[in-house]
Amino acid sequence: MTLFNRKPAAALMAVSLFAAAMVGVAAGDAPQAAADAVPPGYSTTVTGTTHDFDYFMGSGWVTTQHRLKATGVGSHDWETFPATLCGSPYLNGMATVDEMYAPTKRNSGLTLRTFDPAKRQWSIYWVSSKAGVLETPAMVGGFHGKVGEFYSEDHDTHGRPVKVRFLWTLRDQDHAHWEQAYSYDNRTWETNWTADFVRGDRAELCEDGRPKQIGA
């Protein structure tokens, strides 16, 4: 937001327009370069393997979720809530489905992942129990070692265009970390959701492949 007078004198306006035109000529394809700018690391060509999410299958997970209450406004106000997660593989691992249940929120979310062997990429989709809609576009990417990277272009809840990043870190056999970040300016990332996962007893946490909703 500018705090200066937005109606300059005609002569000053003419000089400004001339200068801007000359800068544009000197820069050549600078406007196109600006349009193609992306935040650090952003790529929709990250690849992986069909085994990337084997780590999460066959177990139940206890997770602590940390979510920024408002995005894109410089907020530092976070909320924290617990959840449980249970996942199952399909099509010999080329598709996975996991459901997360947050008891204090009294709602669930479902993640569907599909693997494209031609592109060697995962597509990740989310469905909230509140909306019941498969959210698109998908996040695409894969793992390299113990780190997973997934990206897409989308809009935030206010309709503002953003680039989105998921980062997975497999810390050891029983601990993982996930985070989501938005870029509004194609230069910086704002992390707005993180989650820490601890492997638990599937028999205790899950029933028929889904989180037990005790007391729901």
> Cα–Cα distance between 101 and 134 in angstroms, integer?
17
Domains of the chain: 54-210 (2.40.128.20)
Residue 28 is given by DSSP the state: S
Q: How far is CA 31 from the centre of its chain?
A: 28
Q: From the first residue on, what is the mean pLDDT of each consecutive set of 10 residues in the chain (216 residues)? A: 32 36 43 69 98 94 98 97 97 96 95 98 96 96 98 96 98 98 98 98 95 77
**Sequence-ordered list of residues with C-beta below 8 angstroms from that of 132, at least 6 positions apart, any chain:** none
Phi, psi torsion values for 38, nearest 5 degrees: -135, 155
Global pTM exceeds 0.85? no
Q: What is the dihedral sign for C-alpha 125, 131, 132, 134?
A: negative
